[in-house]
């Protein structure tokens, strides 16, 4: 049987190259659960997916073929849809687009997104250059609005147990690290960002700011001067969600390609993190793109999702190449009732009643709950550790986070069986804080201590987690690290004990 490419060769000769422009925005259908007809279920890799976009598909290409062969297929698709979609409406009533978007990553992953009818899909499924086809699906920001009981969550990141309001951190504070925020955009003029935030990509519209507030809140938790875990990191806004917090997998893919390309072009590989506080049904294409992001030297951190279900059902949460973050109530370390769970969750962080940046004024704040709020705590922590310890990849960052979290002895309460009990921590609580750590409500020390040799057992970058990730204290992170400057008086007893243990170790005495 002739390939899809050869069947459309005649049409391709008539098509302008402009067909590769981005598709028109997709209006939100009244009913997200558009059913997939039985006629096409055999041709797509996600036939049971919810919240699909009718008649819109993502093609992943078989990279064993040459670039020219794949480009020929893309060109044929682009040519065909200009003719076939003219005046045609999708099952949800919207006008089908005659344009196709194309995404290509340096790792080799390659995708196209387009509107198509059933007969076109059936023909395309037989093309040898096509690895698989997905029905495009809606994604949504993973947050809930709350109005009272706000906390920053920062105290929990540097304390061994729940309840602390002091944030202890090193004055390096993520300096030199860039955080890509794939979300609703960023209100870059907010005072919290101190000129360290920019908008750089927009897959939604021509409004290059945050029309929802979700992305700005997330960015504030990563790098805000008051609310941020990594207070000196830079923020790059990648807008893939609209004013209602919704978007599509195809739009997310475009945003991810921008992240990979920008990091490579601007020398940010090994010096960047990416936060995705969004989710949709499990997607091979999204997970493959996250893998490409990691290969580009950007550490992907993603929200586990808010459906109280197995994160394996969600993307990007199910990506093995990301750090997937569940939510706890930071006041008692209990798993948040909404948080997803399962083997794909790597770590937990504060996600209930978290205060951060708002968008109604340059000094506005907002309080939100969700794994969307937990993920940026860990993205900020990743940036912090990368700046402090020279970590450069997701394996090294994940291993170090596992080590530091294990050392505190804290575990998630009321957790779901088969899910990690690790709670994100920057190491200050276990005496593993780096030299120069400051204390107190997010204020860095005026005079940081001089650098010293990293503590034994730091293990940065070896990619190996402890055999028992949810074990108590005693994982050995940080013994021998100098006492951080500026610690509050309440911790004096702890440090006296730590000093005694360190001296005893040096003298060969068992304690």
Specify the long-range contacts of residues 13-18, CB closer than 8 Å, at least 24 apart: 14/79, 15/75, 15/78, 15/79, 15/82
Residue 413 CB coordination number (10 Å): 14
Structure token pair of residue 442 = 């997010």
For residue 278, the SS3 value is: strand
Tell me the angle at which helices 371-389 and 394-408 cross, rounded to the nearest 10 degrees: 100
Compute the radius of gyration of the chain from its Cα atoms: 24
Indicate if 372 belongs to the active site. yes
DSSP secondary structure letter of residue 413: B
- Token code pair at residue 451: 């650098």
Phi, psi (5° rounding) for residue 299? Answer: -85, 115
Cβ contacts of 231 within 8 Å, gap of 6 or more: 169, 173, 174, 223, 224, 225, 442, 444
Helix (H, G, I), strand (E, B) or coil at 349: strand
56: CB partners within 8 A, 6+ apart: 26, 90, 113, 114, 115, 116, 135, 136, 248, 250
- Residue 69: half-sphere exposure toward Cβ, Cα within 13 Å: 11
Q: How far apart are CA 383 and CA 234, in angstroms?
A: 10
CA neighbor of 347 nearest in space, from 369, 371, 331, 368:
371
Our answer to whether residue 315 is catalytic in this structure is no
Distance separating alpha carbons of residues 400 and 430, to the nearest angstrom: 13
Catalytic residue, candidates 79, 356, 372, 375: 372
Beta-strand ranges (E) seen in 142-196 are: 144-145, 169-170, 178-183
* Bridging pattern class, strands 197-202 and 130-141: unpaired
Is 366 catalytic? The answer is no
**Catalytic residue (choose from 127, 166, 171, 183):** 183
Please provide the DSSP assignment of 245-259 as one string.
SEEEHHHHHHHHHHH
**DSSP alpha helix (H) spans, 266-370:** 284-295
Q: Which are the contacts of 293, defined by CB distance < 8 A and separation ≥ 6?
A: 256, 259, 260, 274, 300, 321
- The catalytic position among 79, 158, 164, 214 is 214
Structure token digits, residue 29 = 């259908």
**Among all residues, which ones are annotated catalytic?**
183, 214, 372
């Amino acid at each position: 049987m002739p390939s899809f490419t050869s069947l459309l060769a005649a049409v391709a000769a008539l098509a302008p190259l402009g067909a590769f422009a981005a598709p028109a925005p997709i209006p939100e259908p009244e009913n997200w659960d558009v059913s997939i007809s039985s006629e096409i279920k055999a041709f797509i890799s996600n036939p049971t997916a919810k919240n699909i976009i009718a008649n819109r598909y993502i093609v992943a290409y078989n990279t064993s073929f040459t670039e020219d062969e794949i480009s020929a297929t893309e060109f044929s698709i682009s040519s065909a849809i200009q003719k076939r979609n003219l005046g045609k409406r999708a099952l949800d009533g919207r006008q089908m687009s005659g344009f196709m978007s194309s995404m290509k990553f340096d790792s080799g992953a390659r995708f196209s997104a387009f509107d198509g009818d059933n007969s076109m899909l059936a023909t395309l499924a037989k093309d040898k250059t096509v690895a698989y086809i997905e029905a495009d699906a809606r994604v949504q920001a993973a947050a809930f609005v709350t109005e009272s009981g706000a906390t920053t969550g920062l105290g929990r990141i540097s304390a061994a147990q729940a309840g602390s309001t002091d944030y202890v951190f090193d004055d390096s504070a993520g300096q030199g690290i860039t955080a890509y925020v794939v979300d609703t955009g960023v209100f870059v003029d907010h005072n919290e960002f101190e000129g360290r935030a920019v908008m750089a990509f927009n897959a939604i519209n021509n409004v290059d700011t945050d029309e929802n507030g979700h992305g700005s809140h997330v960015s504030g938790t990563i790098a805000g001067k008051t609310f941020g875990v990594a207070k000196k990191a830079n923020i790059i806004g990648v807008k893939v969600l609209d004013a209602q917090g919704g978007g599509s997998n195809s739009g997310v893919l475009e945003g991810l390609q921008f992240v990979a390309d920008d990091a490579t072009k601007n020398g940010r590989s090994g010096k960047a993190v990416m936060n995705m506080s969004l989710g949709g049904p499990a997607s091979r294409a999204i997970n493959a793109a996250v893998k490409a992001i990691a290969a580009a030297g950007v550490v992907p951190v993603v929200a586990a999702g808010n459906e109280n279900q197995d994160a394996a059902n969600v993307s990007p949460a199910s990506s093995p190449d990301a750090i997937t973050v569940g939510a706890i109530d930071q006041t008692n370390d209990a798993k948040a009732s909404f948080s997803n769970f399962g083997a794909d969750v790597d770590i937990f962080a504060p996600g209930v009643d978290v205060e951060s940046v708002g968008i109604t004024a340059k000094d506005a704040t907002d309080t939100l709950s969700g794994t969307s709020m937990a993920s940026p705590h860990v993205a900020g922590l990743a940036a912090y550790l990368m700046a402090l310890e020279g970590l450069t990849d997701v394996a090294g960052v994940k291993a170090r986070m596992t080590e530091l979290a294990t050392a505190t002895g804290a575990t998630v309460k009321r957790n779901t069986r088969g899910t990690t009990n690790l709670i994100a921590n920057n190491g200050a609580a276990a005496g593993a804080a780096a030299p120069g750590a400051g204390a107190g409500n997010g204020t860095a020390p005026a005079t940081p201590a001089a650098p010293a040799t990293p503590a034994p057992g730091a293990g940065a970058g070896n990619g190996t987690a402890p055999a028992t990730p949810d074990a108590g204290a005693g994982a050995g992170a940080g013994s021998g690290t100098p006492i951080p400057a500026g610690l509050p008086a309440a911790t004096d007893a702890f440090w006296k004990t730590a000093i005694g243990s360190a001296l005893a170790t040096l003298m060969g005495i068992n304690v």
